[in-house]
Homo-oligomer: A and B are copies of this chain.
Amino acid sequence: TDPMLIFEQAREGRRAAAQAPERPTRVPALPEAFRRRKRPALPEVSELQAVRHYTRLSQLNFSIDTHFYPLGSCTMKYNPRGCHAVASEPGFAERHPLAPSTTGQGMMACLHELQDWLTAITGMGDTSLAAMAGAQGEFCGVAMIMAWHAGRGDHQRNEILVPDAAHGTNPATAALCGCTVREIPTGPDGDVDMGALHEALGPRTAGIMLTNPSTVGVFERRIREMADAVHAAGGLLYYDGANLNAILGRVRPGDMGFDVMHLNLHKTFSTPHGGGGPGAGAVCVSERLRPYLPVPQVAREPDGRFRWLQEGDRPHTIGRLSAFGGNIGVLLRAWAYTRMLGREGLPRVADYATLNANYLMARLQAEGFQVAYPERRASHEFVLTLKSEARELGVTALDFSKALLDHGIHAPTMYFPMLIPECLLIEPTETESLAELDAFVAAMVAIREAARRDPEQVRGAPYRLPVRRLDEVRAARQPDLAWRPEAAPDP
């Protein structure tokens, strides 16, 4: 029984909801010119039909609440249900953004604490919670770097260095900020190629964007040396917080020499990813970048009251990133999570995320799988390369990924970082149990055995999901992006 679209279940004239208010008796007339002539093609379904449809659709998803989800670089760990309850408190959820701060002291107290905690955790000088996702945090970071150079009259610096294994958002962000991107290669040991770095640095260097542990799952051991070199060349260092879970409460980006960073609260601080957001991309800076922080930010007055700092309070700010104060409902979840973990719980995250990754790596190696950097410790994640399986069995990383779905395990991140052939980036996170890790190993071994018996069978996976492999070429060549009423052309 295929799920029909909600539109296909609709019938014109159906009015089976108690959801709409009563039609007012007297509606002021809108001038004819402004009026909509035809009703929008929204579905007319009963309340039960809507509830049933979306309840059933939800069941088609893999999610943390239902499946192991070792998606590398995404930190898919348990999202505590208590955090959702906190953000749903009517006093928080129903507050208008432009209501006076007298009505928001409770919410602001939480955000102010979160700012302070994130500053302490990262070893930086100050924190703004304004960015609505990691990519916006990155934008902030690069914009602040550029503002700092501009503030010193240093207008020629418009080059951002990025390791070749970096997340795609890094170069995209640099471009958004009007910078050019220069890629730095990764050395054979997984660390950045220091020679290439030194070569790239110069009077046009605005800064470098890095994550540490890096996207290949290892800790950049010479990070202090890199920081010194970049700073000596007049550039600043940006820390991409995507991998912070690996070192949370153990190592502080501020101590490594970074000037600015973002945190993905929907990764490290366990706010839910919601099938694609909302996230939050808190930005932390060293003292020298503080004047450029985006607005608003929560400040505590000498009398203990909280208020929003606005453009007037921060004349050098890079500006405003959203109409209001950011994804506050997400921030409240991160506040609750951090408050539950506490000082002693934060390093435990890093410890057990690292333990799980290294255990899984060791077991897979023992089973004969090849990891990308066998001489290195895994951080919270590691890269497996299936190039020999691809060569010998004709079964690729993609095929393994799809076959894992049939085992009830979400696929790891595939084909990233791009420099490693046939790779899977595997991040188990600290909230998964030993039993889940062992089940993953068993599944990988079973898939390899199946591939030895019948590679075609594995190439056809998945078989047990709501759909089999989808025709992505067709999706892109003949884009069908919206349902239309029968025979209706594009509007």
Contacts and interface: CB of A to CB of B under 8 A. Distances in A.
Contacts of A51: 65, 78, 81
A433 B46 contact: yes
Best-buried of A11, A407, A433 by chain B (most CB within 10 Å): A433
A270 to B, nearest CB: 11
A340 B431 CA distance: 44
Contacts of A59: 59, 66
Given A59-B59, A340-B18, A80 B47 contact: yes
B64 A1 contact: no
B46 A56 contact: no
Interface string A166-191: 00000000000000000000000000
Copies of this protein, total: 2
B435 A9 contact: yes
Given A1-B408, A46-B431, A66 B78 contact: no
B408 A82 contact: no
A438 to B, nearest CB: 13
Interface in A432-488: 432-433, 435
Interface in A59-89: 59, 64-67, 77-78, 80-82
A49 B407 CA distance: 18
A456 to B, nearest CB: 24
Contact of A64 (B18, B48, B81, B433): B48
Given A47-B80, A48-B78, A52-B67, 10 more contacts: A1-B407, A1-B408, A9-B435, A18-B340, A48-B77, A48-B432, A51-B65, A52-B64, A55-B65, A59-B59
